[in-house]
Structure 1
Amino acid sequence: MFDHVKFGVSDYAASKAFYLKALEPLGVAVIAEGTTPAQGAELSPEGKASLCLYQTEEKPAHLHLAFTAENRQQVDAFYRGALAAGGKDNGAPGLRPRYHANYYAAFVLDPDGHNIEMVCHKPEA
């Protein structure tokens, strides 16, 4: 739904590693990177919206990013990858019927405490 989202992080290397691993199920890779952490990196699956990170000393406000998964297996893989990359559990994969009957999501906190979600709106295959 977006073209790109850009935000500052307190530990560029840790955040870049976290997002690359957590979003691996979506085919995310570094598509552009500056020569310094302050210039940051652009992460994206080929031809899709981008997530741009850069090193900053500023304390960014908390952020909630939700990524669309094509299936529930991608949600599960996101959760495992995010935890393996140092993320903190903020809601294991599962249905969230308070949103709608097929809202299958997982939530993790990234290295800066941002709430990162992956959600599949489709019924189980």
Structure 2
Amino acid sequence: MFDHVKFGVSDYEASKAFYLKALAPLGVVVGGEGEPGYGIELCVPGQVASLCLFQTAEKPAHLHLAFVAATRAQVDAFHEAALAAGARDNGAPGLRPNYHPNYYAAFVIGPDGHNIEAVCHAPGP
């Protein structure tokens, strides 16, 4: 739904490593990178939307970022990869029927306290 989202992080290298590992199951790769003050663009090849991170001394406000997953298996893999990358669990993979019957998502808290989600809207098997 977005073209790009760019936000500051307190530890550029730690955040870069976290997002690359946690979002790898969703097909996210480095689209471009400059010096830490400019940052890094993360994207899925062939798609328009990107996530951009940059180093800042300012404490960013907490964000909720939701990433599209094509399958429920990708949501599961995102959650596992994010926890392995150092995230804190904020909601295991599963249906969230209070949003809609096919809302399958997982939530983690990233290095700067951001609520990071992967969500699949497709019906299950």
Is the TM-score greater than 0.5? yes
Aligned positions of 1:1-125 closer than 5 A: 1-34=1-34, 36-48=35-47, 49-125=49-125
Distance in 2 between the 1:104 and 1:111 partners? Answer: 23
Give TM-score scaled by structure 1 length: 0.96
Q: CA deviation at 1:123?
A: 1.1
Runs of 4+ in 1 over 4 A off after TM superposition: none
List runs of 5+ in structure 1 lacking aligned partners: none
Q: CA deviation at 1:104?
A: 0.5
SS of the residue 1:99 aligns to: coil
Distance in 2 between the 1:5 and 1:89 partners? Answer: 23
SS of the residue 2:41 aligns to: strand
List runs of 5+ in structure 2 lacking aligned partners: none
**CA displacement, residues 79-115 of structure 1 (integer Å, 9 cap, x when unaligned):** 0000000111000000111111111100000000000
Which stretch of structure 1 is more off in the superposition, 20-29 or 74-83?
A: 20-29
**What is the aligned residue count?**
124
Q: CA RMSD in A?
A: 0.8
Give TM-score scaled by structure 2 length: 0.96
Q: CA deviation at 1:25?
A: 1.4
Q: Quick one: which amino acid aligns to residue 103 of structure 2?
A: Y
SS of the residue 1:61 aligns to: coil
Percent identity over paired residues: 74
